[in-house]
């Protein structure tokens, strides 16, 4: 497998015969300016989604996506929904499910009535809705850097001016219009914000009239004690959106998430969802309600966390065996990812090109940066989806390639001969 430029396909990447294609620049005077809306010039393919297509090929070892372990679905018993749920439903979601979510939020410190809870067609929809509501071309948006790739993709599509922000706020610089954060087991780093950082951002957003957008899909996947109270719970005023997901602790194929919002934002967000998809699948909502009401859920969440804790620990041991001395990393206290920083002189894109030839996939760190021109020495490695045995093989392959790259870097004559 190799990476090529898709000059013949101006609309984006393609996958064919084991080849992942990078999109080339479209002809501006043909498709873009004559046929499509100007904002479509900002469309970019998601590196992760393109890499995931390659997992359809046999024997691929993928550390690229954020896929849950398939064996965690085995104890999920989906109920048969009543026929009445085959009819259209309310935009904001089923009342019973909204009430159950509101109870869950109250338990973690976010006091929000069910009337301000909305069920989403996956939490990715929440990112799209908030971007539609808050972002015009040039709108300053503060994000962590690195940050969730698919959020950056949406914000760029709407023309955001992305500004890298450290945990806790933007400091003495100009206030953004929107601050987007994943403070609990962050994607891609796995980092968890401290209580002081959470309170500082809440205070900054409230004092400077900045919309807080808090994304919290990994909070149930906690393997060590750390602060997990929502930032939004510290806001006694101002504008905020808090969203969660059923993809990581239930099943991503259901495409179910939810958001809660301050009173000033909820109605316009609801109207945007009306225009987007009328409402989320009522059948899926029935499954989520059954899951939330299941008395065995706390025990299942405990088993799930223990399963991933064990897998994380085995992955960390394999990293040490195969990448020790070639990279650095922190063991994440939760979530699904390791953020691995390569030693000086080792380049992630070059590693990916050679790893793909041996059927191993990962996501280079540069794709998570707010600055598209930035470079990153890091890799994001997912530890949840590949089996322990496959992860061992995959990391052994990556370690072998990195040792070859390091040897080439130390012996320019050998590298030139190999080229």
Task: Considering the domain delimited by 46-66+300-418, tell me its CATH architecture.
Answer: Alpha-Beta Complex (3.90)
Determine the pLDDT at residue 55: 65
Instruction: Please check the confidence at residue 58 and state whether its pLDDT lies above 80.
Output: no
pLDDT band of 369, cuts 50, 70, 90: very high
Percent over 90 (pLDDT), the chain: 79
- Alpha carbon distance 13, 66 (integer Å): 20
- Over 60: is that where the pLDDT of 50 sits? yes
Q: For 369, phi and psi rounded to 5 degrees?
A: -90, 145
Report domain extents, the chain: 1-45, 46-66+300-418, 77-293
- Could you report the per-residue pLDDT of 185-201, keeping only the tens digit for each? 999 999 999 999 999 99
Task: Supply the mean pLDDT for the chain.
Answer: 89
Q: Give whole-number Cα distances, 165 to 218, 309, 369, in Å.
A: 21, 29, 11
111 — pLDDT class (breaks 50, 70, 90) = confident
Give the rounded percent of residues in the chain with a pLDDT score beyond 70: 87
Predicted confidence (pLDDT) at residue 173 exceeds the cutoff of 90: no
What is the pLDDT at residue 22?
A: 47
pTM over 0.85: yes
Instruction: Please tell me whether residue 394 adopts helix, strand or coil conformation.
Output: helix
Torsion sign (Cα): 365, 368, 370, 373: positive
Nearest to 250 by CA among 199, 290, 195: 290
Q: Which of the four pLDDT bands, split at 50, 70 and 90, describes residue 17?
A: very low
Name the pLDDT band for 52 (thresholds 50, 70, 90): low
CATH code, 77-293: 3.40.640.10
Torsion sign (Cα): 58, 64, 67, 68: positive
pLDDT-derived band at 45, boundaries 50, 70, 90: low
Q: Is pLDDT above 50 for 1?
A: no
Check whether 14 has a pLDDT greater than 50. Answer: no
Closest CA to 147 of 175, 133, 161, 166: 166
Alpha helices for 108-252 (secondary structure H): 123-134, 149-157, 195-207
For residues 34 and 57, what is the distance between their CA atoms, to the nearest angstrom? 38
**What's the token pair of residue 337?**
């990812």
Residue 389 has pLDDT above 80, yes or no: yes
Average pLDDT over residues 50-70: 82
The per-residue pLDDT for 143 is 98
Give pLDDT tens digits for 262-273: 999 999 999 999
Report how far apart, in Å, the C-alpha atoms of 310 and of each of 6, 12, 48, 280, 307 are: 41, 39, 25, 34, 5
Tell me the pairing of strands 211-215 and 257-261: unpaired
- Closest residue by Cα to residue 185 from 155, 220, 231: 220
Q: What is the pLDDT of residues 269-316, one digit of tens each?
A: 999 999 999 999 999 999 999 999 999 999 999 999 999 999 999 999
pLDDT band at 19 (very low <50, low <70, confident <90, very high): very low
* Res 402 pLDDT > 50: yes
Residue indicated by tokens 């997992």: 55
Tens of pLDDT, residue by residue over 211-231, are 999 999 999 999 999 999 999
The residues near 292 (Cβ < 8 Å, ≥ 6 apart) are: 97, 100, 101, 104
Here the tokens at position 377 are 């020495």
Q: Report the C-alpha gap between 205 and 169 in whole angstroms.
A: 8
Mean pLDDT (whole number) for 55-74? 88
Q: Which residues have CB under 8 Å from 8's CB, separation 6+? A: none
204 token code pair: 């900054």
Instruction: Tell me what pLDDT residue 121 has.
Output: 97
- Residue 48: per-residue pLDDT: 61
If we measure between CA atoms, which residue out of 258, 289, 247, 266 comes closest to residue 100?
Answer: 289
Lowest mean pLDDT among 178-187, 235-244, 309-318, 370-379: 370-379
Low-confidence winner among 14-18, 102-106, 166-170, 299-303 (lowest mean pLDDT): 14-18
Give the pLDDT of residue 54. Answer: 66
Top-ranked range on mean pLDDT: pick from 32-46, 74-88, 279-293: 279-293
Residue 29 has pLDDT above 70, yes or no: no
pLDDT at 144 over 50: yes
How does 7-20 read in b/e, with b if 16+ C-beta sit within 10 Å? eeeeebbbbeeeeb
């Amino acid at each position: 497998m190799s990476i090529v430029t898709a000059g013949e396909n101006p609309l984006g990447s393609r996958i064919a015969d084991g080849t992942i294609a990078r999109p080339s620049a479209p002809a501006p005077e043909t498709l873009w300016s004559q046929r499509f809306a100007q904002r479509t010039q900002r469309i970019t393919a998601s590196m992760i989604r393109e890499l995931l297509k390659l997992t359809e090929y046999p024997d691929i070892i993928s550390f690229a996506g954020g896929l849950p372990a398939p064996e965690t679905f085995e104890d999920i018993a989906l109920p048969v929904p009543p026929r009445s749920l085959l009819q259209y439903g309310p935009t904001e979601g089923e009342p019973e499910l909204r009430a159950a979510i509101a109870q869950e939020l109250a338990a973690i410190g976010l006091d929000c009535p069910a009337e301000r809870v909305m069920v989403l067609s996956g939490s990715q929809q929440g990112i799209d809705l908030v971007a539609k509501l808050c972002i015009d071309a040039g709108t300053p948006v503060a994000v962590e850097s690195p940050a969730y790739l698919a959020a950056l993709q949406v914000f760029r599509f709407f023309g955001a001016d992305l500004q890298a922000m450290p945990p806790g706020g933007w400091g003495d610089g100009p206030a953004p219009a929107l601050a987007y954060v994943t403070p609990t087991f962050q994607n891609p780093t796995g980092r968890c914000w401290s209580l002081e950082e959470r309170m500082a951002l809440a205070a900054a957003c409230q004092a400077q009239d900045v919309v807080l957008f808090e994304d919290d899909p990994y909070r149930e996947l906690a393997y060590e004690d750390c602060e997990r109270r929502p930032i939004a719970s510290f806001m006694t005023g101002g504008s905020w959106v808090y969203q969660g997901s059923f993809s990581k602790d239930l099943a991503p194929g259901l495409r179910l998430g939810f958001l809660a919002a301050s009173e000033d934002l909820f109605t316009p967000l609801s109207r945007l969802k009306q225009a987007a998809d009328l409402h989320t699948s009522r059948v899926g909502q029935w499954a989520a309600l059954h899951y939330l009401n299941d008395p065995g859920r706390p025990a299942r969440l405990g088993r799930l966390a223990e399963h991933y804790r064990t897998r994380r620990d085995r992955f960390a041991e394999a990293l040490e065996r195969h990448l020790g001395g070639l990279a650095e990393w922190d063991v994440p206290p939760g979530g699904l990812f390791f953020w691995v920083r390569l030693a000086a002189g080792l380049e992630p894109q070059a590693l990916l090109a050679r790893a793909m030839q041996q059927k191993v996939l990962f996501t280079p760190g540069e794709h998570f940066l707010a600055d598209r021109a930035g470079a990153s020495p890091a890799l994001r490695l997912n530890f949840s989806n590949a089996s322990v045995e496959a992860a061992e093989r995959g990391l052994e392959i990556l370690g072998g390639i990195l040792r070859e790259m390091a040897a080439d870097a130390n012996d320019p004559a050998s590298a030139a001969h190999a080229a």
